[in-house]
Amino acid sequence: MFYPFPLDPPRARRQNPTGCYRQTFELPVSWISDDRRVFVVFEGVDSAFYCWINGKFVGYSQDSRLPAEFDVTEYLLPGTNLLAAQVMRWSDGSYLEDQDHWWLSGIHRDVVLYVKEPTFIADYVVSTNVPEGSVGSALVVADVFVHEAVTADVSLPSDVDLDVQLYDANRKLVADATTDSSDLELCDPGEVHGQPFEKSPPYFIRKVSVKLEIPTAHLWTAETPYLYTLVMRTLSPLGRSIDQNGPKMKVISDVEACRVGVRTVKIFGQRLRVNQEPIIIQGVNRHEHCPKHGKAVTKQSMLQDVIMMKRYNFNAVRTSHYPNHPRFYDLCDEHGLYVCDEANMETHGFNVGLHPTPFLSNDPRWRLAHIARVARMIQRDRNHASIIMWSLGNEAGCGGGQHAMATWARLNDSTRPLHYESGGSRTTCTDIICPMYARVRTCEYMAAETCAQGRPVILCEYSHAMGNSNGNVNKYWDCFRKEGAVQGGFVWDWVDQGLDSVSHDGQRFWAYGGDFGDQPNDAQFCINGLVFPDRRPHPATEELKFLMRPVTFHLTMSSETTPYSDVDVYVRNWLNFSTLNGLQTSWTIMADSGTMLSAGDLSLPVIPAGCVLNFPWLSYFPKLSELALAALRCYHSSRIAPLRELYLELRTIIQRPTSWCDGGHEVACTQLTLPMPFGGFLPGPKIMKSLPTKFPTLRVHESSEGLLQVQSAAGMDLTFYLTGKLNGTVRSAFDRGLPILVGGPVPCFWRAPTDNDRGGEDISYCSRWRRAGMDRLRMVSYLFLQVLDSELVSSPSGSIRMSATYRFNSGGDNCDDTSGISAELTHVVHTTGSVSVFMTINASRSLPPLPRVGLQMCSPNSMRRIEWFGRGPNECYPDRKTAAMMGRYVTSVDDMHVPYIIPGENSGRSDVSWMALRCATSASNLGKYDAATAATLPEKLHSWTLGPGAVHTHELDVLDNVKESFVHVHIDHVHMGVGGDDSWTPSVHPEFTIQTGREMTFGITIVALPREGDPFEVYQHLQRQGLLQDGYSDCH
């Protein structure tokens, strides 16, 4: 938001880096014969340039994101020609281009040379209308502008006819019309170009309007992107005759064609409507970015973005904050994305308290420059069906310039509403109330205000996707799907704008602001996308896909013990224009063991767009008795039977291939917890085959080195510290001679800060934590109690209990300098070899909300295979977990790691009841079982203590000298949310913070698993043995 040069408009007073480009090309003689005209188009040059051909000056242009076109006929020669361009990094236009992205100058889009006949179609405007109440019919109107060069031989316009044809998607002619010369009317250049010209162009300019009626039209929407093809041809009498003695025959002299989507866009009833139907904007903001080539994006890259957006259920994109490459709009037309097309206008550097002011907008000298930004964009892009609204720009204040832009746009294109946020998002310049980062309550309030004046609310930016973010986004979607005047929004934003770089030691990494010595810079504030620079998705992308799914299911029941015969299932079609006939839904019923009990397909009747179908459970799903029999079959066949819960999972796929996905692509998944009547299915305790239930003794030995060794006949060998700061904690654990723990568990209250944790400067969570010394906590044991039986324990239910109380402070050994946290840690070693660990903490009310409350431990690096039951398979956190389904998952520690460009907290899994670490090459296995109901499980490649020293992910490997030795495991009783309403204020919602001033207690049980042992079987056993007490509950 800061200009990289001193503010002195219109001068950009700074050294002005300049690039000089030269390109030769061969020109056929035919291109400049018979009065043909040749044009050169620069589709994008940042920020301004001069152009020469064969040493002759052609012209100058600025506006880094719109084309500059020159008639170069008079400068060309047959054969070899030289095109030269001098590109300046800065110009007075740079004051209007203060967007927050990489300022990369040069020629970043295509340069095109093309030829036209003497009389040619120079421009055309296509509009469509679907009359309200009509059945299937539609009207296509084409305003065609015909130019003819004024030469010594042509002083009056020539006779020319125009033939217009409309073809459907199968190339069948559906409508046509022909005009003759008398229909073409001379028009003013201002009507063509939108602004008065200082000198008349050397052309006759004529216009004709052609209307084509389609009796039965296929309408364009993002769901049904049907495209017609419009072909326009000029017919000239100047061509050759077939019969030399007969009259001259009219021949085609020029042809233009474009694809046409038939649709209307209107606002009425406080709703944005496409083809009279209100829609929800499932949108995302998109900067043009390539990690290798910066602003020079290829068609393949654009296509990849469009296809990924469609596959993740987005239906709209905002071209933030400038007109995109023209090919991008073709792809949105073809594959179906609504577009908010934004003018290249931002003056954020003129701000007060970081809020942009209309300093330049209110200066009359800048008025035409403002108008040109929106006029040229509209004239370039207006024939695209995908564009449903124009944006006047971003964060440029609201003054005379914006009002002039809005007036021009409304006069020249009344078929689309206007969008403009700056100035309060509710000015007369905008037809849509479009706040950025407004909270849900604010959006609902705006929609209800009298100043709304019938305008819908659509957030131009929301849910800031900076690093591990997008918490609470489900609350926005709860609001959007109320189907009120709040009609969705555009997530900020699509891609992390990192550049592919190589460190001094040869490691590849994503570079961001300041990595090249660039000043000023916004550091990582352009690293805020849903996908990495190479388009690998962040975990939060799955959350948005889930929330925007086109079909949802829910159950109605009077209580948790409702008979299945009284359960109703509701199916909602969230599509606006399509039935669900192209989709197929399959279902499975899963036990909390991960075992599938029943499965099938739903063959539903037609559900029209926007409608709900409800049906009784027994219409498609099994009876309770059938599920009970399935559970018993699992039980008697030694497979794992359900313990306490059942889940219905419904997955919806697209049946046939589309332009953006193959058949079988999943568009929706819903998981519902089913009632478990009669207290569950299990008939009684089952004898464990993989875990012994009885051992005679525990052997205890105290060494001279201040260590306590506890050995179980089951093969578990634990060593505890008896002295020092870690007094009362586990030093190591071995199972039959193989290491399974090399440290911990010990209490942990810190996490490596995320970008959102740092948001808010002095009031940020991170600043408050650091001021409280929470990043420097040291565990000091000040009371150790060891309880031992006087003889070796012989009872199967016997145990050894060891308890220690710790004080945590930021001053090392000085216990008086406390941070206000005390914790009691109790280890109970059972004769079976299992270890129960309980922790009770008290945190002073004076402390800020805690990052986490949990236990941290280390396992050998060889134990890299992890299995758990809880939410997954993707990373999730308490405020971002709606897309994470309960289930049994297996992966590797490496695959759990999420390499956010700025290192921070990652890889969490919520609501975990048990997890197991395994080593693929040995019998070493470790199971951890939570006594609470909703633990968070992050498995880490790197210690959180390395975070402050690493500003890029690849630096963790350099700092972590023990990476090859340990796997860092955190099992959290509670973990603070990640937030994401924005990234510059503390944005974690209160219910997802960990408030201090109260006692919290929880526990886990650690077991050495047999090599072939099933973790869930062990979990069942521990539950029945009473070793997982439900009293240690989650403090949510």
Q: Which sequence positions are flagged as catalytic? A: 395, 461
Element holding 1022 (H helix, E strand): helix 1015-1024
- Write the CA distances from 704 to 95, 701, 722, integer angstroms: 75, 10, 10
CA-wise closest residue to 598 among 617, 579, 570: 617
Q: What is the total residue count of the chain?
A: 1036
Distances (CA, A) of 651 to 441, 598, 600: 32, 14, 11
**CA–CA separation, 770 vs 995, rounded Å?**
17
| Closest residue by Cα to residue 870 from 957, 773, 936 | 936
Cβ–Cβ < 8 Å for 921, 861: no
Structure tokens belonging to residue 521: 């810079």
- The structure tokens listed for 629 are 């029999």
User: Residue 697: exposed, middle, or buried by beta-carbon count in 10 A (0-12, 13-18, 19+)?
Assistant: middle
Rounded distance, CA 405 to CA 688, Å? 76
User: How many Å apart are CA 818 and CA 1035, to the nearest integer?
Assistant: 24
CA 136 to chain centre: 37
Give residue 557's identity as a one-letter amino acid code: M
Per DSSP, the residues of 736-762 read: TTEEEESEEEEEE---PPPHHHHTTGG
Which residue(s) pair with 914 in the sheet? Answer: 869, 929
The answer to whether 933 and 1032 are in contact (CB under 8 A) is no
CB 325 within 8 A of CB 66: no
Cα torsion at 216, 219, 224, 230 (round to 10°)?
A: 90
Which residue, 784, 778, 843, is CA-closest to 993? 843
Which two tokens mark 606?
């037609």
Structural contact between residues 646 and 591, judged by C-beta atoms closer than 8 angstroms: yes
Closest CA to 98 of 329, 426, 489, 422: 422
Calpha distance 827→804 (Å, rounded): 9
The angle formed by the CA atoms of residues 52, 188 and 201, to the nearest 5 degrees, is 20
Give alpha helix (H) positions in 599-744.
624-636
Strands 730-735 and 716-721, by their bridges, are antiparallel
H helix count then E strand count, the chain = 14, 56
Give the helix ranges, DSSP H, for 779-825: none
Paired tokens of 291: 């990690």
Distance between CA 280 and CA 453 in Å, rounded? Answer: 19
* Burial zone of 731 (CB within 10 Å; 0-12 exposed, 13-18 middle, 19+ buried): middle
Q: In what order do the strands lie in the sheet with 265-268?
A: 265-268, 271-274, 277-278
CB within 8 Å of 518: residues ≥ 6 apart: none
Residue indicated by tokens 């479009």: 434
SS3 933: coil
CA–CA gap between residue 882 and residue 769 (Å, rounded): 28
CA distances from 422 to 272, 283, 351, 395, 605 (A): 20, 19, 12, 5, 47
Residue 96 tokens, joined: 């209007």
d(CA 245, CA 243): 5
